[in-house]
Structure 1
Amino acid sequence: MTVLIAFDGSDDSRAAVEYAARHLRPEPAVILSVWEPLLSQISWAPIAAAAPTVMQTGGRTEFEEQRQAELLATKGAEFAAAAGLPDVTPRAERSGGPTWAAIVDVATEIDASLVVTGSRGLSGARSVLLGSTSTRVLHHVNRPVLIVPPAKTADKDGGKDGGEG
């Protein structure tokens, strides 16, 4: 069985990797970084729907976004191995739409036994406006999902705050 861990380099995705390393039975893991050419992101984003975008690659076969995603996936795999996960494989995947859909597709392709993702901890209106990759993965992938919440941080009064909301 293989664990798929979504990784974007954020503190939340690092927390998800660390949690998986501490709490899951050792098994092969794929660290997934999803990428998309910038102009493609603009073309499907709801705010840009009124203005069509023509994507020009200048004849390039590789995008800078792809190279960055491959580096990010490699760094994520190194981080996962240092956290204690054995047999870690980095993977950068181009998405033709939202990030959550690429995560769902890769989970299905590799027959992941579990999908692990971090959560930005958004609530209320911000969650509705920005969407939630982890929530969409949870509702669209037909396999177990572990969503790791943001780490608690000390607030100004010295107490603990579990994030927003």
Structure 2
Amino acid sequence: MEGQSSVEKRVIVVAMDGSTEAESALQWFANNIYKKGDEVVVVHCLHHTAHYTMGSVWAPVDAQAIARAFEEESKHAAKVCSKLTDLLHKYEIVGKVMQLKGDPGHQIVTTAEENGASFIVVGCRGIGVIRRTVLGSVSDYIVHHSNIPVLVYRH
């Protein structure tokens, strides 16, 4: 058809954890990849710390302490999302911020699929081999489970 663009709108999911490395990834994305007309979905995943979920043989579960910790983590996540909205404006990116809950890697891949994303951008904090082996890495999970291209920005 004459006069119509054959270029499809790109949907890009940018995973943000609130770290300075993630902010650097967003800035790099804004300067090098983002194009006017892209649909950008910035996601931050609230993943309550696993050690709050169960007691041990030495100490019983303190339900009030767990509730306070969950509330603090939720408040922190809300602050991160607010900052991310400000960063979108700062870098002149048109998009939306979504707060997800659950395992970050799985939630990011699922959100990308649900939004029909063209690719995913994620930062890498360089946590080290031992810690990554024990705890896992969100960027590793995304790279190995995503069906679309993943750009891992290493600061």
Query: In which range does the TM-score fall when normalised by the shorter chain?
Result: 0.7 to 0.9
**1:67 shift after superposition:** 4.0
Q: How many equivalent residue pairs?
A: 140
Q: How does 1:1-165 map to 2 (within 5 A)?
A: 1-26=10-35, 27-38=38-49, 41-42=50-51, 63-85=71-93, 87-95=94-102, 98-150=103-155
**1:88 shift after superposition:** 1.7
Q: TM-score w.r.t. structure 1 length?
A: 0.70
8 Å contact from structure 2 (residues 55, 61) kept in 1: no
Aligned identity (percent) is 24
Question: Unaligned stretches of 5+ in structure 1?
Answer: 151-165
C-alpha separation in 2, matches of 1:92 and 1:73? 7
Q: TM-score w.r.t. structure 2 length?
A: 0.74
Assess, with a 3 A threshold, how the Cα gap between structure 1 residues 136 and 22 changes in structure 2: closer, same or farther.
same
C-alpha separation in 1, matches of 2:72 and 2:97? 17
Larger radius of gyration: 2
Match of 2:130, SS state, is helix
Q: Deviation string for 1:102-156 (max 9, x for gaps)?
A: 1111111111111111001234323212321101101101111110002xxxxxx
Match of 2:126, SS state, is coil
Quick check: 131-140 or 22-31, which moved more?
22-31
Assess, with a 3 A threshold, how the Cα gap between structure 1 residues 55 and 89 changes in structure 2: closer, same or farther.
farther
Q: Which amino acid aligns with 1:134?
A: S
Match of 1:5, SS state, is strand
